[in-house]
Amino acid sequence: MGMQISAELLDGIVLAVVQQADTYGYALTQQIQETIDISPSTLYPVLRRLKAQGALSTYDKPFGGRNRRYYQLTPLGAQILRDTEKNWRTHKAQIDYFLTKLEPKEGAQ
């Protein structure tokens, strides 16, 4: 499980997955769960929030006698994803500096 993922990063993860291809709730959850331990009930509020922001849009497609709701990235969503990527790169470099770049001082034990 490890560290807590912030809401901003979770938004970014969902946007990145939807960017690859339009997808529906179950497939999206499965794809994220392959890497991150996250509960399906956590992803619903994220999707709802992104849709309300206009970062995602939805459309229904018939599947097996019912309608499946697909999520699609909007231009705003693509912009948010780029911003999140940029922020993450900066953040990652800052944390890496402390956790992986700092060496023991000469002569220190």
Partner 1 sequence: MTIADYFAELTRLLAPLTADERTEAIEYFQDYVADAQFSDGAAVTAELGSPRQLALKILADYSIKSSAATSADGEKVSPRANARQIWTIVLAILSAPMSIPVAIMIFALMIALLLIVSALSAALLIVLAGLCLTGLFVSGFALWSGIWLVFSDPMIGISYLGLGLAAGGAGVILIPVLKWAAQGLASVWAAFFRWLYRKVRRQRQEAI
Q: Which is nearer to partner 1, 40 or 83 (CB)?
A: 40
Q: Is 97 in the site for partner 1 (CB under 8 A)?
A: no
* Chosen residue from 16, 49, 57, 78 binding partner 1 by CB under 8 A: 49
Q: Is 54 in the site for partner 1 (CB under 8 A)?
A: no
Cα–Cα dist 51/14, whole Å: 11
Give the residue, chosen from 69, 82, 89, 92, that forms a contact with partner 1 under the rule CB under 8 A: 69
| Rg (the chain; Cα; Å) | 18
Cβ atoms within 10 Å, residue 50: 23
Nearer to partner 1, 5 or 85 (CB): 5
Which whole-number Å values give the CA distances from 13 to 35, 59, 88, in the listed order? 11, 21, 11
CA distance 48 to 87: 23
The reply to whether 61 sits near partner 1 by the rule CB under 8 A is no
Q: Which residues bind partner 1 (CB under 8 A)?
A: 3-4, 24-27, 29, 39-42, 44-45, 47-49, 64, 66, 68-69
